[in-house]
Amino acid sequence: MIDIEARVAEARRLFKEEGYNCCQAVVLAYSDLFGLDKVTAASAASGFGGGMGRMREVCGSVSGMVFLAGFISPAADPKVKAARTANYALVQEVAEEFRKINGSILCKELLGLVPMGSGTMTPKESPEPSDRTSEYYKKRPCEELVGISARIIGEKLHQMTNNL
């Protein structure tokens, strides 16, 4: 049995207190379930923060769910179309759930850098991560978004393990 609320709290803590990016926080909150050590999981998820390397594209917390979907519904053999279809279906489900709650899966829209649904390009940002100050946390919804993604993927895991 997965304690989803504990996993959500852990993802939020990893983001806010330890400074992991959005993707890392979601992945690390569940990595033990898939036999991933913390360093490997954090390394593999590292480039997805800031909407993929601070490009403000797909939200890092959504990327964390996509990352975990590969373990929940693996599609390791490219010749097994049914597995790929199941994986893609899971990815689409969790992304749509996130979008229903937040209005978008795009970092730039979630941060209010462009209007929702505008398709507007964001100016190129420095690859240097923002300093994690109290002001940073006040103006960013990221901790909440990390919690939402951790809950969505936790509920999906719970649902899938109960159906086995």
How confident is the prediction for the chain on average, in pLDDT?
A: 94
What is the pLDDT at residue 26? 98
Instruction: Tell me what the mean pLDDT of segment 131-135 comes to.
Output: 84
What is the pLDDT at residue 164? 53
* pLDDT tens-digit series, residues 95-116: 999 999 999 999 999 999 888 8
| Number of separate domains in the chain | 1
* pLDDT tens-digit series, residues 86-100: 999 999 999 999 999
* pLDDT tens-digit series, residues 34-72: 999 999 999 999 999 999 999 999 999 999 999 999 999
Percent of the chain exceeding pLDDT 70 equals: 99
Q: How far is CA 40 from the centre of its chain?
A: 16
> What domain range includes position 37?
4-162
The pair of structure tokens assigned to 67 is 């990352």
Percent of the chain exceeding pLDDT 90 equals: 79
What is the pLDDT at residue 163? 65
DSSP helix, strand, coil percent of the chain (3-state; round to 5):
65, 0, 35
Q: How far apart are CA 113 and CA 120, in angstroms?
A: 9
Q: How far apart are CA 149 and CA 125, in angstroms?
A: 24
Question: Residue 12 above 90 pLDDT?
Answer: yes
Contact by Cβ (8 Å): 23, 60: yes
